[in-house]
Amino acid sequence: MPSNEPGPLSQAVILALMHSLAVESTLWWLKRGAIKLNSNDPLISPYIPRVLPTVSNFVNTTKQRLELLPGSPQLVDTRPRQEQSTNTSLF
């Protein structure tokens, strides 16, 4: 889609795509980060109690907003059952 010409998509579609990509991309990176994060690392462990609640609130708010949309995606916890019950996660 050339940036200097009108494209075939309506402004509403472009805005919806931008929103969807921003949310999906953000959630994707947050999930990957949560998987790799070692909260026992001495360099970051003092900051974990201050940072993770903010991240968790963001994820929960985003999830609630997505659930309000018609035809919203179902966000499913894909971790194995054993890990779900033993590991507190952001997701």
From first to last of the 91 residues of the chain, give the pLDDT tens digit.
567 777 787 888 877 777 777 777 787 888 888 888 898 999 999 998 999 898 888 888 887 887 777 766 555 555 555 555 544 455 4
Whole-prediction pTM value? 0.51
Query: Which single residue is written with the structure tokens 């949560």?
Result: 34
Burial of 91 (0-12, 13-18, 19+ CB in 10 A): middle
**How far apart, in Å, are the Cα atoms of 38 and each of 9, 17, 22, 54, 80?**
43, 33, 26, 17, 19
